[in-house]
Amino acid sequence: MESVTEILIRSRDRDESARDALFSRLYDELARVARSQLGRRDGTLETAGLINETYIRVVDQGRVGWEDRSHFFAYAARAMRHVLVDRARRRTAQKRGGGQRAVTFTERAGLSEDEPESILELDEALEALSRTDPRLTQVVELRFFGGLTEEDAAQVLGVSARTVRRDWFKAKALLHEALTRANDE
Amino acid sequence: MSDVFPTGPDPLDDILDRLLDLPQEDRHQLLDRELPAGSEGRARIEALLKASEAGGAALDRAEQAVRQILAHPESEDSSDLPPTIGGFEILRRLGSGGMGTVYLARRRGDGLDRDVALKVVGRTGEEPARERFRAEQRILSRLEHPNVARLYEAGIDEHGAPYFVMEYVDGLTIDDYADQEGLTLEERVRLVRQLADALAYAHRNLIVHRDVKPSNILVTADGIVKLLDFGVAKLLEAEPDRDHPPLTRPGAPLLTPEYASPEQIRGEPVTTAADVYATGVLLYELLTGVRPYEFTSRSPVHIEAVISGTEPRRPSAAVTGAGARAAEARRSVPSKLARSLSGDLDWVLLKALRKEPEARYGSIQELSEDLDRYLRGQPVLARRPTPWYRTRRFVGRNRGPVAAVGLIIASLTLGLAGTRWQADRATREAEQASRVKELVVGLFEGVAPDVAQGRQVTALELLEQGQRTLLTGLEDEPEVRTELLNILGGVYTSLGEYTRAEPLLDSALAVAEALGDETLLLSALAAMADLRYATGEYEEGEALARRRLDLQRRVDPDPSTALAAAMTDVATFLSSTARYEEAEGLFLEALELDRALGAADKEGQDWNSLSILRARRSDYDGAIEAGRSAVAAHRRHAPGDNTGIATALATLAWALDGKGEFGSADSVYQEALAIRRRILGDSHPHTAILLNNLGSMRQKEGRLSEARTLHEEALALRRGIFGNDHQDVAASLNNLAIVDYYEQNYSGAEVAFREALRIFRLNLAADHPNVLTGTNNLAAVLREQGKLNDAEALFRATLDDRMRVLGPNHHDTGGAYNNLGGVLRLQGRPGEAATAHRQAIEIFETNLTADHPDLANSRLSLARALLDLDRPTEALPVLELTCPTYTTRFGPGHSSAAGCQAAIGLALAGAGRDAEARRILEVAVPILEEEQAGQEWTLRGREALNRMSR
């Protein structure tokens, strides 16, 4: 199988097939890592941890530059989004199918109701947002699904951290608008 | 929305940026300044802020859902399971992680129904070299230790993926176990010692674990620690590869960066020191609830930079950030947890976490032994050999008191009763309180249940009720009313409720004056003077006391105990403002009166006051003599236990303590404490004073942990009695901070000093001696933290106030000069420093005995400033006068004596008398290098020696 590093290098030249391959490979990797959490009881459940772990594991850093790294994180954040949305969708289906509400035991918080719907709603709102402002959508993907800091997201997008902060702020406002509109319909 | 918020460049972006730079609470200010209310821009921004906040809340909900999804594995279709691996039947999946998947498995057909854990490592890496793999795993499978989960075998499955068959351990990870069981610090340390045993065993077999982290350490229900994955990291390792450090090496097993040592991160050779390091990180986390480093990003570059480039936070400092929950899980509270960590555990952890492998413990065994020392209360080896620590241990071996050379910081003892020194105050308060109580209780017998509403009625509530009802019911009996006002005011004063006391006493005084009733006026004046004394308004207080004395003489010029009492009141104010001669004369006059009247208890009180006065001016022999006379007089008066004897014993102990006779002081303190506990119970303010004074003596003796315990006990008592804002509480905080200071926990000390100061300022006049002591102490701790300018400003302010309040001849004024001088020299201003020290010396010479440590201190500091000024011939006579003090006090081999000798050597060298200088420095410098390595005067001594030998 072609290594992620190879794909990453190949996708430098706007090679669409390479980018698709990158996305689907990252989807598989992340889905696998996210599947279960044994050995990760040290509190790093965050998506950022999963993505970084994957990066460290599958990318030969000696062969890639910072631009490839940016690519990686941009695609990984998107892949993470899809992994989570798919998981949320399956879980919602389970909830409906089983006729009872799934209840998740989270270690520290105790019993709480599982609300995978909020991820699905967010995904739809993001879809709507991407039609008018793809960059804001990407900021949300990087910050929320990718768990990147302002600085890291700025590096991936090639803008200033300030711009990321402003976009993040605006994106939240627009998401709220989209979510409200969806609920009104 | 699009009209509110057009996409693309927006004229409001600039203000938005500035807004987002600000914390939430400051944003409105900026908005008000930049966009007037009602403007179009303002409305848009407001709408945006609101929408964005709501959007943020929606994201928070989604994040919660993400966490749940990630925390909760998808239900497994059993058809996903491989039926067998390497001849083992797979029963179920235990979990998966970065390094692969773990199954519960059972050997098929061998008749042994033993469950094992089977781990298959992800297939992303290159296949390990089979030969080496098999060789290594044979070695590993021979490891057998109660704290090591056994590796039964390892192999490579049909897809080329390595798998490991290990002992199946049913347990919790060590961090979860510790939290669920609510283990204390000591219990957590013991757990880690079990881990250390396992590692030590492996290290003896030349195996390094390399991946010590909580998820690899399980604890069974019986509390047995089991270390997992031994040797796995090593087995999977590819050939050493310097071009690709482990964090970024493709296909390498993932190490957990948080626990990786700097050399592991850099891909350098890994030795047993890496396991020492990781054990340090683990222990740090178990003890504090946080990791030694904070990562703001999870990028490998960032992690590497942090681990190899920054110093870990001190555990005792980190724990304050961990919050109440972490403390609660350790059956403690944050402040107490920080204190338990500060000192030995701080040192142990920081040594384990040193960046250079060779600077860590030489072996895991050494770390474990140091932890054992901690558990047994012995000094740990990790302790940096600072002069102070050595001094402490030196003192701990009971070889006499040691004064630190340098700053004078003051603990607050005895004078802090919140009442006058005279013991009759105690009696008076008790009488007053019981009279009020009788009255109030009598009046409210029927009402009390309603008032109390099922709670315990506090003395304060009772008083308030009494005040309201009694005073309104007594309009036509002004004499009785005034007397009650006086009594109530007096009780409030003794409870530290000064603002409540003042209006009552004001009104009592006014009515007494209006009525022209001299008896009432005498008691009103006395009560008001008490209040002024308590709050530090000495000028007003003294005027009142003098008025009372004049009135007393006019009303009844014949000798009486009342006349003597009026005299001692005036004398008390004189003594507080350092007019000692005058005060002593007046006390003696009162003493003669009481003796002639045959009032032995009053005589005892006068001796007591004299003793305190003398101790204050450092005339400790005189103080001890007066204290003994006080005890004798009280025994004559009443042979059994009584408060008079207890107070006199307390004062005697204080005087002995002041002189440095800690042994005798100790037994007298204990005697006083026993009597007070018998008469007054365990939770009386006077018991707290004794605990406090004893605690401060322990601190001077260098028995810091005992000092801490006593001060904490006194603090708890005082908080229980007075609440949080009482000046006695502040005194206890101050004294605890001093313990922190000597333990070099400067940030902790700073916090406590500031809190003490806040409380003092709340209750006392701005220039009350306690406020000034608080300021002085805060300045000292700032100096230790290198905040020299702040320290200088505070020392100067203290000096000004002490000059004004205590006068230019007071011991404390001298202390302020001394401390200011110390900072000035550090700031590179030796000329000014010398002047300040000369002032201090002049004051100390008139007030103190010739061998008083403060005097010696200041002379040595002066000499050092003179050396800085390159005036060695002036420094020399000062040193020759001073150094014998240190030698006599501590012995010639002690570092304080050696420090002084080194200064002599430097002065001689400066004066060109090289031969003499060398003789002295050759003795002194090695002592300093042993005890005060790296300190300024040690280095200067060594430099001079080197220069002379060239």
In the stretch 136-155 of chain A, residues with CB closer than 8 A to chain B read: 144, 147-149, 151-152
Which residues of A are less than 8 Å from B236 in CB distance? none
Q: How far is B237 from chain A (nearest CA, A)?
A: 14
In the numeric block, which tokens belong to residue B502? 């003042």
| B596-610 average pLDDT score | 88
In the numeric block, which tokens belong to residue B477? 């009996």
In the numeric block, which tokens belong to residue B868? 């800085």
Which residues of B are less than 8 Å from A115 in CB distance? 61, 64-65, 68
pLDDT for residue B710 is more than 90: yes
Q: Output the 3-class SS for B538-562.
A: HHHHHHHHHHHHHHHHHHCCCCCHH
Mean pLDDT is highest, among B12-21, B68-77, B604-613, for B604-613
Is A107's Cβ below 8 Å from some Cβ in B? yes
B72 and A170 in contact by Cβ < 8 A?
no
Smallest Cβ–Cβ distance between B67 and the set A38, A90, A106 belongs to A106
The single-letter DSSP state of residue B74 is P
SS3 B95: strand
Q: How many domains does chain A have?
A: 1
Distance of alpha carbon B668 from alpha carbon B666, whole angstroms: 5
pLDDT for residue B424 is more than 60: no
Extended strands (E) in chain A = 103-106, 110-113
B201, B250, B273, B352, B353 from B359: Cα distances, Å:
22, 31, 9, 8, 9
Question: A8 lies in which domain range?
Answer: 4-184
| B133-142 average pLDDT score | 72
Q: How far is B863 from chain A (nearest CA, A)?
A: 55
Longest dimension (CA), chain A: 52
Element spanning B943, H or E: helix B936-949
- Percent helix / strand / coil, chain B, rounded to 5: 65, 5, 30
CA nearest neighbour of B152 among B82, B204, B220, B105: B105
Question: Which tens digits make up the pLDDT trace of B270-306?
Answer: 788 899 999 999 999 999 888 888 776 656 667 777 8
Note the residue count of chain B. Answer: 950
| B142-147 average pLDDT score | 86
Smallest Cβ–Cβ distance between B97 and the set A39, A152, A172 belongs to A39
What is the ipTM score, two decimals?
0.87
Distance of alpha carbon B463 from alpha carbon B904, whole angstroms: 64
| B788-809 average pLDDT score | 88
Q: Categorise residue B925: left if φ over 0, alpha if ψ from -120 to 50, beta otherwise.
A: alpha
| B439-444 average pLDDT score | 46
In the numeric block, which tokens belong to residue B573? 């104010």
**How far does CA B248 lie from the centroid of its chain?**
42
SS3 A160: coil
Nearest CA in chain B to A85: B66
Question: Which tens digits make up the pLDDT trace of B525-556?
Answer: 999 998 888 777 888 999 999 999 999 999 88
pLDDT for residue B199 is more than 50: yes
| A99-120 average pLDDT score | 47
pLDDT for residue B398 is more than 80: no
A78, A91, A133, B818 from A120: Cα distances, Å:
14, 11, 19, 71
| B65-79 average pLDDT score | 61
| B712-727 average pLDDT score | 83
For residue A106, the cross-strand partners are A110
Question: Which tens digits make up the pLDDT trace of B119-137?
Answer: 876 544 455 556 666 766 7
Q: Which of the four pLDDT bands, split at 50, 70 and 90, describes residue B18?
A: confident
Residue B128 or B941, more confident: B941
Which residues of B are less than 8 Å from A144 in CB distance? 59, 62-63
Q: Which residues of A71-98 are buried (b: 16+ CB within 10 A; e: fewer)?
A: bbbbbbbbbbbbbbbebbeebbeebeee
Residue B906 or B659, more confident: B906
Residue A66 or B123, more confident: A66
Q: How far is A173 from chain B (nearest CA, A)?
A: 4
Residue B182 has phi, psi (to 5 degrees) of 60, 45
SS3 B807: coil
Smallest Cβ–Cβ distance between A119 and the set B65, B95, B247 belongs to B65
CA nearest neighbour of B401 among B910, B868, B852, B877: B852
Contact between B593 and B452 under an 8 Å Cβ cutoff? The reply is no
SS3 B429: helix
| CA torsion angle B766 B769 B773 B778 (round to 10) | 0
List the single range of A24-38, B234-248, B444-458, B651-665 with lowest mean pLDDT.
Answer: B444-458
Element spanning B467, H or E: helix B459-472
Catalytic residue among B175, B179, B197, B211: B211
List the single range of B85-94, B232-241, B388-397, B931-940 with lowest mean pLDDT.
Answer: B388-397
For residue B297, the cross-strand partners are none
Contact between A23 and A72 under an 8 Å Cβ cutoff? The reply is no
The Cβ-side half-sphere exposure at B897, using a 13 Å CA radius, reads 14
Respond yes or no: is residue B211 known to be catalytic: yes
B458: amino acid identity, one letter: T
Q: What is the pLDDT of residue B453?
A: 40
Distance of alpha carbon A50 from alpha carbon B291, whole angstroms: 19
Distance of alpha carbon A123 from alpha carbon A80, whole angstroms: 12
Distance of alpha carbon B401 from alpha carbon B391, whole angstroms: 10
Distance of alpha carbon B632 from alpha carbon B76, whole angstroms: 87
Question: Which tens digits make up the pLDDT trace of A130-163?
Answer: 888 888 999 999 999 988 888 889 988 888 888 9
Question: Which tens digits make up the pLDDT trace of B692-702?
Answer: 989 988 887 77
B384, B385, B404 from B388: Cα distances, Å:
10, 8, 8
In the numeric block, which tokens belong to residue B358? 């060779």
Map tokens 């104010």 to a residue. Answer: B573
Mean pLDDT is highest, among B65-69, B564-568, B937-941, for B564-568
Strand arrangement, sheet containing B88-97: B84-85, B88-97, B100-107, B115-121, B162-167, B151-156
Contact between B417 and B833 under an 8 Å Cβ cutoff? The reply is no
Of chain B, the percentage scoring pLDDT greater than 70 comes to: 80
Contact between A30 and A76 under an 8 Å Cβ cutoff? The reply is yes
List the single range of B243-247, B294-298, B610-614 with lowest mean pLDDT.
Answer: B243-247
Contact between B115 and B94 under an 8 Å Cβ cutoff? The reply is no
Distance of alpha carbon B808 from alpha carbon B816, whole angstroms: 11
